[in-house]
Chains A and B, each alone.
Chain A
Amino acid sequence: MKKLSRREFLKLATNSLLGLSGTFALGGLIRFLSYEMEPAPPSEYDLGSEVDYPPGSRTLLMHIPAVLIHSNEGYLAFSLVCTHLGCTVEHKDREYECPCHGSKYDEKGYVTRGPSNTPLKRLRVEVNEVGSIILHMV
């Protein structure tokens, strides 16, 4: 290994110290900016009484956005957020279409046309003790 001259050593020391302090500052900046100001979106929604969702009904819940289907097999709910890039899919003639990049899903949320390759996210439906429907987002 080449012997460092005094001048080279001091230069190296200066540069590495400056670099280190710069890295610290950058880390601090990233930490400073990574605070989440808003609370995370709710993990569950109370959809009100079961009576409002009779068998055979399909209810679009645009504030979530999600859809709740009550069929003979029970409740089925899935998110209306396109799994491709997150636009809200629109319900059009017995299928769901994304306005952004044209993904299509069938009545049960399965992909019928790309670019999306994962079905719409299934949401767990629960009926609590007082007969309200609870939609679990996670």
Chain B
Amino acid sequence: MRTNPSSRKDKCHPRAAQFARIFLFALGVLLFISANLLLTETVKASQNQQANGTPTPMPSPTPTFDMSRLTRPELPEVPSQADQGLQTFFGVCIACHGDRGQGLTDEWRLGAYGEDSDCWQSGCHGKDHPPQGFEIPKTLTFPALGTASSLGRFENAQQLYDYVVVMMPWWKPRSLTPEQAWQITAYILKLKGSLPDGLVLSETNASAVPVHRLISTPQNNNTPIFFFIGMLVLTVLGLITRDFFARRENAPPPNLIAGPVIRPSFVSHLHPPTIPAMQSRWRYTLGAGGMAVFLSLVLLITGLLEMFYYIPTPEKAAISVETIVSFVPLGALVRNLHYWSAQLLVIVALIHLARVIFTGAYSAQRKFNFLLGLGLFVLVILLDFTGYVLRWDEGVRWALTAGTNLLKSIPFVGNAVYIFVLGGRDAGPAALLRFYSWHIYVLSLVCGFVIVWHLFRVRRDGGIAAAPVTERETTTRITRTDLLKREVLGMFVGGIVLLILAVLMPAPISSPIRGGTILDADSSAPWFFLWVQQLLKSGDPFLLGVLLPLAVIIFIGALPYLFKDVKQNELGRWFPRSGSIVQLLFIIIAVIIMALTVLSIVNPL
């Protein structure tokens, strides 16, 4: 076939035949050259063998070996982890693994060691090795590190590190410090071409770094900020222009009850046409309720985004979180926003609760909505705890153990409740999967439903609490357009705060939980449970860890039912006198909880 390509000529397209001819010719030339080269190598080798008189069939020492390869390269002024790894590598590893991680190749052995190049027979590592020497097992091959096919048994940098730190160097295993071992691991990844730019390997992220392929560069630059600020500015500009034209067409009179004539859009429709000016001021609402809605929306969106990468298995959970943070473009921003929105939501919800208590807005027809709000707060806490646990890293280990064991402490039904919530007898894979389902589906869904109900009840109960029209200092009202503008301003400020927090203070993540080994496990509860942890230090888990917190919530919920309603004419302003007992009780509870939290912070175990 090769000899007679022309026989196919009439069958093939003429151009294809031409290509085939050229290809075959090139192949022939290549074969000829390589055969010649091979032949000369063998001839040279046999000639050398005869000259030296050694029986071992071995290629000659390459006279062209560049001896400068043996000198340790200079450390750059700002050394990276891999640069430092190279320094150790030259001192410890190159003897067996070669200066470029090529392994103990003949070229390296013969070039670098000259007459001692037969490692198995020379004095260094043979039968009569000197005190510093060590015997090399004959069956052992010294693997190349830097080639495409090398290190096949390691999947990620953590596995490679674990091997290096325990098994290397061959003659004195475990003599590398963890820091050196990380540096060497980084250098090996660099050799393999799979070290992401600017990444510093550690327990936290190594499991997420594959050995055999380069993942995209981690984003440690400022693009997220510009991205987010750009987004915010565009939103505001859009709303301003929209509103500007709306006002021009339809300037509303200052005290219009019916609102603009135009049919309201969906967003406007969620608001009453007008609301009392006095009660729409920041100093009255503190903007907390609206901010809670905004944070919930941020949580919903960022949470959905995280779902695209998060893997709810004990082996992969922490690694997938690390992947989001270190490698997914804008991933760190998304996770940090999710984290900070969740933290701020607890605070904002508490501020909202305090505002409602201190303005007497819990009484009369609003009692039920007060309960709904309190229920929402409990849901938010549960969402925070389940979300916190989803990290499944050393940081959540004890909070998870202690928090879930509280369920077991419930008399009679404790074990059944535990299995219902965790899906097993201990906090294993089933528990993680279940927490995932509770967090992203059950709790979020219920929470969303109650949010809508809560907002609906605000309208149904007569809008924001205010004194009867006849008893007001002023009856000025603002339109929903103005209200919307304030909300947008609130979102803008909230967005900026979130962004600053997200950029400056990354959400915590520590090394994945790996079997029975306990590394730097953090023993403090999440901050909103610190007071419970402090209580638990002094006694019975069920009494102090379950009943008491429940009692606090139930007591706060019962306040409007236990005490007389706030007088109608005192509504709509801060600290109505007729609600002073409720306010006092609330302050006492708040102070005790804060004191316990502070105690727990200043007096850790």
Which residues of A line the B interface, CB within 8 A? 30, 33-38, 40-41, 62-65, 84-88, 97-102, 114-115
From B429, B430, B537, give the contact of A101 (CB < 8 A): B537
| Residue numbers in A under 8 Å from B517 (CB-CB) | 62
For A101, the chain B residues whose CB sits under 8 A away are 402, 533, 536-537, 605
**B122 lies within 8 A of chain A by Cβ:** no
Chain A interface: which of B268-276, B420-428, B554-562?
A: B420-428
When the two chains form their complex, are residues B539 and A41 in contact, meaning their CB atoms are under 8 A apart?
no
Partner among A30, A62, A100 whose Cβ is within 8 Å of the Cβ of B402: A100
Q: A100-B533, A102-B537 given as contacts; is B425 within 8 A of A62 (CB)?
A: no
A-contact 0/1 string along B74-114, CB 8 Å cutoff: 00000000000000000000000000000000000000000
**Given A63-B515, A99-B605, A115-B540 contact (CB < 8 Å):** yes
Partner among B515, B523, B536 whose Cβ is within 8 Å of the Cβ of A99: B523
B232 CB–A CB distance under 8 Å: no
- Give B524-556 as 1s and 0s: 1 = Cβ < 8 Å from A's Cβ atoms: 000000000100111111000100000000000
Contact B605 A86 (CB under 8 A): no
List 4 A-B pairs, minimum CB-CB distance, nearest first: A99-B523, A63-B516, A37-B430, A86-B405
Contacts of A36 in B (CB 8 A): 419, 423-425, 430
In contact, B430 and A30 (Cβ under 8 angstroms): no
Give, as a whole number of angstroms, the nearest-CB distance from B89 to chain A.
Answer: 33
Interface membership of chain B positions 400-426, coded 1 if the CB is closer than 8 angstroms to chain A and 0 otherwise: 011001101100000010011001111
Check if A41 sits within 8 Å of B426, measured CB to CB. Answer: yes
Shortest Cβ gap from B605 to chain A (Å):
5
Contact B406 A85, beta carbon cutoff 8 Å: yes
Indicate if the CB atoms of A87 and B424 lie closer than 8 Å: no
- Across the interface, A85 reaches (CB within 8 A) one of B426, B433, B518, B541, namely B541
Q: For residue B521, which residues in chain A have a CB less than 8 angstroms away from its CB? A: 99
Query: Does B398 lie at the interface of the complex (its beta carbon under 8 Å from any beta carbon of A)?
Result: yes
A63 to B516, CA, bound (A): 5
| B: contact size bracket | 20 to 34
Contacts of B425 in A (CB 8 A): 36, 38, 40-41
Partner of B538, one of A38, A62, A88, A115: A115
Q: Give the residues in chain B near A41, CB-CB below 8 Å.
A: 425-426
Q: Taking CB as reference atom, which chain A residue is nearest B409?
A: A85
Question: Could you tell me if B401 and A87 are in contact, using CB atoms closer than 8 angstroms?
Answer: yes
A-B contact count (CB 8 A): 80
Q: How far is the CA of A36 from the CA of B420 in the complex (A)?
A: 9
| Complex CA distance for A102 and B518, rounded to whole angstroms | 17
B416 engages A34 (CB within 8 Å): yes
Report Cα–Cα, A97/B523, bound state, in Å. Answer: 12
- Which of B428, B533, B539, B545 lies in contact with A114, CB distance below 8 A? B539
Q: Specify which of A30, A62, A97 is in contact with B516 (CB 8 Å cutoff).
A: A62
7 A-B pairs, CB-CB below 8 angstroms?
A: A34-B420, A38-B428, A84-B536, A84-B541, A85-B405, A97-B605, A100-B523
Bound CA–CA A98/B536 (angstroms): 12
Residues of B contacting A33 in the complex (Cβ-Cβ under 8 angstroms): 420, 423
Minimum distance in angstroms from A26 CB to a CB of chain B: 12
Q: Which of B203-237 contact A (CB under 8 A)?
A: none
Complex contacts, A85 vs chain B, CB 8 Å: 401-402, 405-406, 409, 536, 541, 545
Interface residues of B in 509-525 (CB under 8 A from A): 515-518, 521, 523
Across the two chains, which residue of chain B brings its CB closest to A61?
B516
Task: Give the shortest distance, in Å, between B435 (CB) and chain A (any CB).
Answer: 13
* Residues in chain A near residue B538, CB distance under 8 A: 114-115
Q: How far is the CB of A65 from chain B (nearest CB, A)?
A: 6
Instruction: State the Cβ distance, B600 to closest chain A Cβ, in Å.
Output: 10
Q: How far is the CB of A116 from chain B (nearest CB, A)?
A: 10
Residues of B within 8 A of A87 (CB): 398, 401-402, 523
A85-B405, A86-B401, A99-B523 known; A38 vs B429 contact (CB < 8 Å): yes
Query: How many Å from the CB of A81 to the closest CB on chain B?
Result: 9
Nearest residue, chain B, Cβ from A102: B605
Least CB distance, B517 to chain A, in whole angstroms: 7
Instruction: Decide if A100 touches B423 in the complex (CB within 8 Å).
Output: no
Tell me the nearest residue of chain A to B541, going by C-beta.
Answer: A85
* Shortest distance from the beta carbon of A74 to any chain B beta carbon, whole Å: 26
Report whether A30 and B420 are in contact in the complex, using a CB–CB cutoff of 8 Å. Answer: yes
User: In the bound complex, what is the Cα–Cα distance between A63 and B514 (angstroms)?
Assistant: 11
**What is the CA–CA distance of A41 and B430 in the complex, to the nearest angstrom?**
13
**B419 neighbours in A (Cβ, 8 Å):** 34, 36
Which residues on the B side are within 8 Å of A38 (C-beta)? 424-425, 428-430
| Known contacts A65-B516, A85-B409, A102-B605; 5 further A-B pairs (Cβ under 8 A) | A30-B420, A38-B424, A38-B428, A62-B516, A86-B408
Chain A proximity mask over B117-129: 1 for CB below 8 Å, otherwise 0 = 0000000000000
Q: Give Cα A92 to B416, complex, Å.
A: 35
Q: Is the CB of B402 within 8 A of A37?
A: no
| Chain B neighbourhood of A34, CB < 8 A | 416, 419-420
- Please, which residues of chain B bring their CB within 8 A of the CB of A30? 420
Q: Which residues of A contact B515 (CB under 8 A)?
A: 63
A34 and B424 CA atoms in complex are apart in Å by 8
Report the Cα distance A63→B537, complex, angstroms.
26
Q: In the complex the two chains form, is B398's CB within 8 Å of A115's CB?
A: no
Minimum distance in angstroms from B329 CB to a CB of chain A = 35
Assembled-state Cα–Cα distance A114/B405 (Å): 17
The minimal Cβ–Cβ distance linking B161 to chain A, given in whole angstroms, is 20
Chain A hits for B423, CB < 8 A: 33, 35-37
Q: Nearest chain-A residue to B422 (Cβ)?
A: A36
Shortest beta-carbon distance, A41 to chain B, in Å? 6
Asked if residues A100 and B605 are in contact (CB atoms below 8 Å), the reply is yes
B136 to chain A minimum Cβ distance, whole angstroms, is: 31
How far apart sit A64 and B515, CA to CA, in the bound complex (Å)? Answer: 10
Which residues of B sit under 8 angstroms from A35, Cβ to Cβ? Answer: 423
Q: Are A88 and B428 in contact, with the CB atoms below 8 A?
A: no
- Whole-angstrom CA separation of A34 from B418 in the bound complex: 9
In the complex formed, the residue of B with least CB distance to A31 is B420
Q: What residues on B are CB-neighbors of A88 within 8 Å?
A: 401, 518
**Residue of B at shortest CB range from A65?**
B516
Interface hub of B408, B521, B537, B538 (most chain A Cβ within 10 A): B537
Write the nearest CB–CB distance from B43 to chain A, whole angstroms: 59
